[in-house]
Structure 1
Amino acid sequence: MGSNQKSTYSFKFRDPNLGLIKGLISDLKKIRRNNFCVEYGGMLTIMNTEVDAWAIFTFAQLNDPPLRCFTFQDFQLAPTLEEFSRIADIGIKDAVPYTGLGEFPTHQQIGSSIHLYKAEVKANLGPKGDTLGFILKFLVGKASDFKSKEDWVTFNALLALILYGIVLFPNIDDFVDMTAIRIFLLKNPIPTLLADVYHSIHWRNEKNGGMIQCCTPLLYKWFLSHLPSERPFVQNKDNLKWS
């Protein structure tokens, strides 16, 4: 008789180095952080989420590819647009989300979105791997310059683009790639964030393990939102193992 026990896969999750970003915002006053959140949502909260690696590793094992959900012993869970929107505090636009199709934005369009000159964008938008983008140090350096000038509109735009590329849509270490830039220009990230979770976890289960490319802190916060927050589960959390 065959066993119904599911195989355990070896998953990895991209864990970006946030040192430069945290250094950039470490001395921001509360009012500046609040103003950023009003315009760009809860990305700072997502960035500062401490993810329990064992929790998310265990959770990924429960993916049910045929049903496109996560199957537990007695119930099933599936993230939704509305849940991700609430957790990220970013609204969902009534517009076509990012599809990966169409032409790349021009240097002028990118520059306008982050308040940089076209020539500066052209000089610093370079290749890495098989994509174009900005090196993180360049964007952090520009953000720091505008911070010192107290140009908060430009600072916030640069910080938001950085968080799109490093936290929401991590792909290449210390690099904000063209995909993140294009999603930033659309300002409708929630559908893509949800699609990343479904696609990456499903794909890695099909391949029996590997690197899961999605916004892990957002997935973790969603997972925790469905767990008990009181009584025995919380009281005994130090004695429980996710596995």
Structure 2
Amino acid sequence: MGSERRKALPFKAKMPDTANISRLLNELPACFRVTLQGKFGHILDLLLVDVQTPTITALAQFYDPLLRSFLFQDFQLTPTLEKFDRLLGFSMKGRTAYNRIGQVPEVEMLALALHIPISDALANWKKRENLFGFWRAYLEEEAERLFEIHHWDALANMLALLIYGLVLFPTHEGFIDSAAISIFWAVWKDKQSLVPPLLADTFHTLHTRHQRKNGMLICCLPLLYNWLISYVFKPDAHISEISNGEWARTLVSLSSKDIIWYRHKLNVEEIIISCGSFPNVPLIGSKGCISYKPMLALRQFGYPMRGKPDDKEIEEMVLNDMGTNDPFLLRKIIRSWEKVHTKGTEIVKKNDAARVPY
């Protein structure tokens, strides 16, 4: 598909420091982890992922900004809502898509919900560049305080907020900003779905970095890493033994025969293919909105790729700066999720082949 002809771009990737969160979790009973998982999904599992950052920087070289896909020798792979949903163990069913972009709870309300003294929260509500938020050190101190007084429910919420700001929706190192807080609040209080904004931020950071042709890949790296290895490696593979230099060679040499296209235990009966009047799926994330093309991912659900997709299905849409530059388009995107279009078993009998026309 031509990816091997591209000049390598100087991308960087760095995992956040979650040592203090992990230490606290290790000192807590197992039932606490179950409670937190029930409220927020398998976000604790992301702390255990041994992400080899050269894998991420190598993978980013294969990304095609227009198709929202990674293009390899004779196949493509696309992150999808359904796969992220399964990896997180936090079902989208019964939840609306995140639509509170730019909306942040009042600091006083946030403090009360997290059992932080209001005066302390107001004093520690800081601005970094164009976003307000809390420094990690302050929230970690509050987590320690909640641990000492055995306020387990509040501690679960505090640790979840730290994970949201540091791992799921990072922006600045060691700073939990209002964009991450907005999603945390919407998922916790409004029962909105965590999955669409995570996929949005994945595409948005890849798109932005390719536009600028350099920079730091700032998104949920453990989730993207797990997504990749689920297609390339069997569960018992010795991934940690692959050296940094070997990752690029491994990805370059991949062919469609190497990919684990479809796992029956992850069977997906319905695929979200478009929303409202959009020809594809507009996603709302912490930094802006971006469309993705699920019709290019049918093979990953066990369906054949028969031919070239319609031009409308790969139509471009990117909205930066949290949608402030085009509020009309942002409202249209939000409303589009009121009418979600899906396809399921009527597509065709399960068969992950790629036909010649495609």
**TM-score w.r.t. length of structure 1:** 0.88
1:148-227 superposed matches below 5 A: 148-187=148-187, 188-227=193-232
Partner of 2:35: 35
Identity across matched positions, percent: 31
CA separation of 1:28 and 1:230: change in aligned 2, threshold 3 A:
closer
Amino acid at match of 1:12: K
**For the structure 1 residues 61 and 99, does the alpha-carbon distance in structure 2 shift closer, same or farther, using more than 3 Å as the test?**
farther
Unaligned runs of 5+ in 1: none
- Paired residues of 1:84 and 1:190 also in contact (CA < 8 A): yes
**Residue of structure 2 equivalent to 1:228:** 233
> 1:1-243 alignment to 2 at 5 Å?
5-92=5-92, 94-98=95-99, 100-102=101-103, 104-187=104-187, 188-229=193-234, 238=242, 241-243=246-248
Shift of 1:234: 6.1
Larger of the two Rg values belongs to structure? 2
CA distance in 1: counterparts of 2:100 and 2:129, whole angstroms = 21
Q: State the 1:169 CA deviation.
A: 0.8
Q: CA deviation at 1:97?
A: 1.4
Question: How far has the Cα of 1:98 moved from its partner?
Answer: 3.9
Question: 1:96 offset after TM fit, Å?
Answer: 4.3
> Structure 2: how far apart are the matches of 1:96 and 1:182?
13
Letter in 1 for 2:154: T
**Structure 1 CA distance, aligned partners of 2:99 and 2:29?**
33
The separation in 2 between residues aligned to 1:30 and 1:172, in whole angstroms, is 31
Q: Where do 5+ consecutive residues of structure 2 fail to align?
A: 188-192, 249-358
Residue 175 of structure 1 aligns to which amino acid in structure 2?
A: F
Q: After the TM superposition, which of the residue ranges 68-77 and 122-131 deviates more from structure 2? A: 122-131
SS of equivalent to 1:67: coil
Once superposed, which parts of structure 1, at least 4 consecutive aligned residues long, lie more than 6 Å away? none
Distance 1:82 1:112, change over 3 A: farther
Give 1:25 shift: 2.0
- TM-score, scaled to structure 2: 0.61
Cα distance change of structure 1 residues 120 and 65 upon mapping to structure 2, 3 Å threshold: same
Between the two structures, name the one with larger relative contact order (CA 8 Å, sep ≥ 6): 1
Amino acid in structure 2 at the alignment position of 1:193: L
Deviations 1:15-56 (A, max 9, x none): 212222222223122222222112211111102211122222
Flag the 1:101–1:134 CA change in 2: closer, same or farther, 3 A. Answer: closer
Q: 1:28 to 1:4 in 2, by over 3 A?
A: closer
Aligned to 2:329: none
Displacement after TM superposition at 1:80 (Å): 0.9
For 1:196-217, what per-residue CA distance to the aligned partner results, in whole angstroms no more than 9, with x for missing partners? 1111112211221211110111
- RMSD over aligned CA atoms reads 2.4
Tell me the distance in 1 between the aligned counterparts of 2:4 and 2:36: 49
